């Protein structure tokens, strides 16, 4: 296969093995393929003009999305309302009188 190369830059030596060269080649080829795929995919853009049909579909889809959001948020709203009702009905627990040493590590 390839031979190992020794490169010296600013007094430091770098050894590039055949595996390193192969991996650099694969990375460069993969990057070029990805770049060409992105470059040529931008040429195929489809533009839809506004029409009554697309406006109607947009309106119906927005109604469906709003309804789904209301349904999804309903359990959370119910839980929040129930928790606030419980908090208003239950009196706060009485405070405990501390007879221990203040600033104790064990809280006694």
Read off the pLDDT of residues 97-108 as tens digits, 9 standing for 90 and up: 655 556 656 655
H/E run at residue 54? helix 52-89
CB 41 within 8 Å of CB 35: no
Say yes or no to pLDDT of 93 above 50: yes
pLDDT 10s digits, 1-38: 457 778 888 888 888 888 888 999 999 999 999 998 88
* Full-model pTM: 0.34
């Amino acid at each position: 296969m390839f031979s190992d190369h020794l490169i010296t830059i600013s007094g430091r030596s770098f050894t590039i093995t055949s595996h390193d060269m192969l991996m650099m080649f694969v990375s460069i080829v993969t990057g070029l393929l990805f770049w060409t795929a992105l470059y040529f995919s931008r040429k195929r853009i489809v533009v839809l003009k506004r029409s009554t049909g697309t406006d109607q579909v947009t309106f119906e889809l927005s109604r469906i999305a709003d309804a789904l959001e209301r349904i999804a948020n309903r359990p959370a709203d119910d839980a929040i309302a129930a928790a606030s009702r419980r908090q208003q009905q239950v009196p706060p627990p009485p405070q405990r009188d501390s007879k221990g040493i203040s600033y104790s590590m064990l809280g006694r």
